[in-house]
Structures are given as C-alpha cells and as structure tokens.
Amino acid sequence: MTHLTRRHALGLGAASTGALILPRFAIAQADNRPSITIAVQKIANSNTLETLREQSNVGTRTFYSYAESLIDTDWAGDLSLRPGLATAWRRIDDRTVELTLRQGVTFHNGETMTAEDVAFSFGSERMWGGAGQAGSAGLFGSVTAGAAGKQPPAEVVAVARRAFPGFEKIEIVDPQTVRFVNKTPDVTLEGRISRNVGIIVSRKAFAEAGSWLDWARKPVGTGPYGIAEFKPDQSLTLVAHDAYWGGRPLLKQIRFVEVPETASRINGLRSGEYDFACDIPPDQISEIEKNPRHEVLGGLITNHRLTTFDKTHPQLENPLVRRAMTHAIDRQTIVDALWGGRTRVPKGLQWEFYGDMFIADWAVPAFDPKLARELVKQSGYKGDTIPYRLLNNYYTGQVSTAQVLIESWREIGLNVEIESKENFPQVLAKGSTRAVRDWSNSAAFNDPVASITAQHGPTGQQWQIGEWRNDEMGKLSDELETSTDRARRKAMFRRILEICEREDPAYTVLHQTANFTAKRRDIQWKAAQAFVMDFRARNWGGIRS
C-alpha cells in the first residue's frame, strides 16, 4: 500500500507547479526583447480604444501601435502620406479612390485581412450605426454607450459623418482591390482615408465580441502591437504582434500607465519605473535634463493655440475692436517667455504639410500697439468690460498666457476681465459674459478643410454655437469642401484666412503647440510631429548599452 505523506504531497505539488511554470519560463527566456513603460496623463478620455469614439490627443498617442489605416502618415517625418495597409492608390475620378490592398496582413487574432474587412471597417455596423439607420430619426434614440448590443453610441456615428461627410460606399473590385466612393467630388479623400477613424479592424472579432463596449475596449487591428489588457483609467498593455506584416516588432511589450500628476510622472522617470513620461510642461524641461540619464524630446505638432471671439457680444460686435485685439499681442514674447522659445508663431491657421495649399506669404496680424490703439479709438469703444472665460491650464501655460493677453489689451485701452470656468461647457454656454475664450485647432490631414472650415465654417463649433458667422466665409467653406479646381481652392483658402484673421476676426492665432516627452537618454527613439508615438522598427533604434 502506498502512503502519501504530507511531505510527499508537498513535493508533488512543487513538481507540478514547476512543470507548469518551466515551459513558460523557457519561452520568456527566448524572448529577450525589451519592454517599456510609458507614463501618460490619461490613456483614453472615453475609456475606449475605438478611434471612432476616442477622438482625443491622448487617444492619438496609443492608437498607432495597435491599428493602421489604408494610407499611412509619416508621423516621425514630414507628415506626408505613404502606403499603409494599401500599397498603392489612384484616383478613378473626383469622387473615387482605388486602393490596392497589402497582402499577407494578419490581424492580432490570427485572421488574414481581406477586402471584406476593409468594407466592414467603413461599413454601417462599425461606423454608421447599423443597417438602414443612418440619417433616420431613431439614430440617436437609444444611447446606451454601447454597453449592451452592438449598436455603436451616437457619437461614433457623428464622428464618422464629420470625418467622411460625403461617404457613399466601399466597393470591392477584387480580393486585392477596393474603391472608396464618395457621393460628392472631394480632392481630400486620400487625407481623409489616412485619418485614424479609418483604421482597418477585424470583422470576425467584431462579430465575436459580446457588446460594442467589449469590442471598443479591445479592438482587433493589424498594428505591430496587439492589445493584451486595457484597464480603463489605469493602464494599457500592448504586446508584440509577431506576425506583423512589417516584421517582428522590436519591443516585447509596451505598457502605458495613467499617472495624472506631472510631478509623479517625472519622479517615476527619475526612479527608473518609467522609460517615458509624456505631457511635460516646458518649464520642467531644464530640470529633467539636469540628470544626464534623461532627455526631453518633442516639439511642434499640428495644433495651434487660438483666442476666439464672440462677435455677438456688444463690445465685440464692431470688428475694429477684434482687429485691435489681434494687433495688441506680442506673440513672440509669449513664445520666448512662456515656452522658452521651444515653439513658434505660425503663419496663421495652417501648416506646411498642406503642401500646395499652404500659403507661405501669409502671416498673423503684426504686433502694432499704435495701430491697435487707433483701431480702438475708431471703434468708439467706451471702456465697458469684455469678459474672458478662462479654464485653469487646460492648455499648457494657459493662465500665464491669458495674463499676458489681458495686460496687452489693457495697454491699448481695452478693459478685458478674466472669468474663471471649470469646464468647456461653462466656457461655451451662451450668455452675456461670453466674449473671449481660448481654443486650439488641429488638422487631421493635409488640407485646410481639415481645420479652418471644419472648426470655423458652417459645420464648425464656433459657427454652431452662435459665436461667429460670416456669410461669405460660409459659402467659401462649402465650395472648398467640394471644389476640385486646385488654383481656385487656394484662392478661396486665402480669402477665408483674410476674413477669419483680418477683416472680421473669428479668432487670432497665438502660437503653435508643442508637445514634450521625457525619456531615458539611452533609448534611441524619435518623437513625432503629433501626439502619435511610433514604436515601429523604423523608429526604434534600440537601447544604447
């Protein structure tokens, strides 16, 4: 008879545990790729990773590791468009782009990407709120935030409509070719397709998910890293997708952790827990770089800080007052004093990556206090208060910038007073104290319709909330959206800039935004001209020993 003593039992238990652990240990031993931890202020505002829902700067930072669009953007380079999941594309006509799909692309679930997946990614289930629902009265009738069922929440459909306003269909020509068909002519289709809302996701994975929310928290894409675990408000762990079409990723794991306090992110970097610390204010850069082991990267991104005007406010009705305000600001001093010269005063609300549409000879209104005082005098301004609704440093250096602006306007005889607000709805609420406020504008792709018309035109926020409108600008915006005459488009854009920034100011550009990331100096990595962090092999130079 065999007696099993406690010692034997323990021995057997230990042996079994060892047997369970050893093979995994062996695998871990074989994979000696580095893992990195990145401290961010926030991972996702919406607590989802579906780009159609998470349209934020912070979401932009992570999406590029786990998902890809048909047309890629050279984020770490000049922001030009380049092949992504499509190896080539060509115009069929003013409203159709034909794309050749990359072969051998595998999703994180092991499925091969097909033309059907592309059609699904732009289809009604993911983007337009289910068959037959787009545009119907019931479209927004059941907002469940996607917790039950597969119906995407209302904002997903709204984002899709804004991103692809003229979308008609995806036409599958053959297994390797699809056509993006628009209802209206649009010269910016390639740029729109490159946006992060146009990521290609697995149709099968969507079908297998329990609910839209389950899906949105773990979308299955084709990026070099797959989503291993997402803990909302806490962390996002991505692991190498070894079947990635672009080659085996050089990192084993990327972990984003949410550390809301700037000081805590910096301390974690110093103590060696984090390899990267994002969202570093400019005044912390020199302090961080005192430690030779760390450096701060980053710089200009495709986002400009603005001050916007409510032209319906009695004191701002006269454009001369607004024009005076635009000439009173010494923008270069703001850049030098508050940003340590690490950003610049741009040429109005546009970026060089617009290419042919960039108007190189345009400039923001010159700093000219004498002219500004003259304009105030001509306007007949009587000294009444002009309220300035201000958030507490939602934007980097926002309060300090506001103080500079207040003093600049006081110098030319305008009585502008700060009203502190807690959130954007309070800033935007219509009322007698809505006159001046802060904003920032980005361009999601390389054309003015991605910014000036989208943000200040008839469909833009400023127009929609009744702050500012100008009939001529409205007509030009509409035409700019659909015109295919490139020379005419450029002329229209120039006229729009004249109206919005000079004649009837809707806003005034203060400076370009810069985004700074602190990191270990021994890590060879380049920051992008956007919030995007690129951890593909081409942008990872390894860790210097």
Partner 1 sequence: MLRFFFLRLGRAALTVALVVTFAFVVLRLSGDPALIIMSVDAPPEAIAAFRKAWGLDDPIWLQYLRYFSAIGQGELGQSMRDGRPALELVAERIPATLALTLPALALKLGIGIPAGIYASLHRDSLIDRIVMVTAVAGFTVPSFVLGLVLVLIFSVQLGWLPSGGQESWRHAILPVLTLGIGGAAVLARFTRSAMLEVLGQSYIRTASAKGVPWPAVVRGHALPNAAVPTVTIVGFMVGSLIAGAVVVESVFSWPGVGRLLVVSVANRDLAIVQCILLLVAITMVSANLIVDLLYGVLDPRLRSGAKAGAH
Cβ(325)–Cβ(309) below 8 Å: yes
Stretch that binds partner 1, among 71-79, 229-237, 505-513, 536-544 (CB under 8 A): 229-237
Question: Does 38 help bind partner 1 (rule: CB under 8 A)?
Answer: no
What are the E-state strand segments in 16-155?
Answer: 35-40, 71-73, 81-83, 86-93, 96-101
- Could you say which of 78, 168, 261, 411 contacts partner 1 (CB under 8 A)? 261
Rounded Cα gap, residues 86 and 72, in angstroms: 9
Work out the burial of residue 311: count CB atoms within 10 Å of its CB; fewer than 13 is exposed, 13-18 middle, 19 or more buried: buried
Task: Please report how close the Cβ of residue 311 comes to partner 1 at its closest, in angstroms.
Answer: 19
Q: How far is CA 325 from the centre of its chain?
A: 29
Three-class SS state of 348: coil
- Distance, in Å, from the CA atom of 92 to the CA atom of 171, rounded to the nearest integer, reads 12
Site for partner 1 in 436-475 (CB under 8 A): 461, 464
267 forms part of the interface with partner 1 (CB under 8 A): yes
Query: Looking at beta carbons only, is 415 or 461 nearer to partner 1?
Result: 461
| DSSP bridge pairs for 439 | 306
Task: Provide the b/e sequence for 459-469 (b: ≥16 CB within 10 Å).
Answer: bbebbeeebbb
Binding mask 272-311 for partner 1 (x = CB under 8 A): xx--------------------------------------
Q: Which is nearer to partner 1, 84 or 146 (CB)?
A: 146
The CA–CA distances, whole Å, from 390 to 364, 405, 431 equal: 23, 12, 15
- Residue 228: count of CB within 10 angstroms of its CB: 15
**3-state SS track over 64-76:** HHHCCECEEECCC
Smallest gap from Cβ 152 to partner 1, in A, equals: 12
Nearer to partner 1, 90 or 293 (CB): 293
User: For residues 133-162, which are near partner 1 according to CB under 8 A?
Assistant: 139-148, 154-155, 157-158, 161-162
Find the binder of partner 1 among 112, 234, 286, 378 (CB under 8 A).
234
Site for partner 1 in 402-431 (CB under 8 A): 422-426, 428
Q: Which of residues 99, 213, 306, 528 is near partner 1 by CB under 8 A?
A: 213
Residues whose CB falls within 8 Å of the CB of residue 184, separated by 6 or more in sequence, listed in order: 95, 166, 481, 482
Q: Is 413:381 a contact under the CB 8 Å cutoff?
A: yes
Q: What's at 260, amino acid-wise?
A: P
At position 28, the amino acid (one-letter code) is A
76, 528 in Cβ contact below 8 A?
Answer: yes
233 binds partner 1 per the rule CB under 8 A: yes
State the number of binding residues for partner 1 (CB under 8 A): 47
Nearer to partner 1, 233 or 417 (CB): 233
Rounded Cα distance, 87 and 101, in Å: 6
- What is the H or E stretch that residue 436 is in? strand 436-442
Q: Which is nearer to partner 1, 361 or 422 (CB)?
A: 422
268 binds partner 1 (CB under 8 A): yes
Whole-number minimum distance, CB 2 to partner 1, in Å? 40
Shortest distance, position 537 Cβ to partner 1, whole Å: 28
Q: How far is the CB of 143 from partner 1 (least distance, A)?
A: 4
Q: Name the 3-class secondary structure at 152.
A: coil
Instruction: Kindly state whether residue 262 participates in binding partner 1, applying the rule CB under 8 A.
Output: no
Q: Does 392 bind partner 1 (CB under 8 A)?
A: no
Helix, strand, coil % over all residues of the chain, rounded to 5: 35, 20, 40
Q: Which of 43, 48, 127, 187 binds partner 1 (CB under 8 A)?
A: 48
C-beta closer to partner 1: residue 258 or 310: 258
If the CB atoms of residues 494 and 521 are measured against partner 1, the closer one turns out to be: 521
Q: Which is nearer to partner 1, 313 or 421 (CB)?
A: 421
Q: Please report, as ranges, the residues that interact with partner 1 according to CB under 8 A.
A: 45-48, 55, 139-148, 154-155, 157-158, 161-162, 213, 231-234, 257-261, 263-264, 267-268, 270-273, 422-426, 428, 461, 464
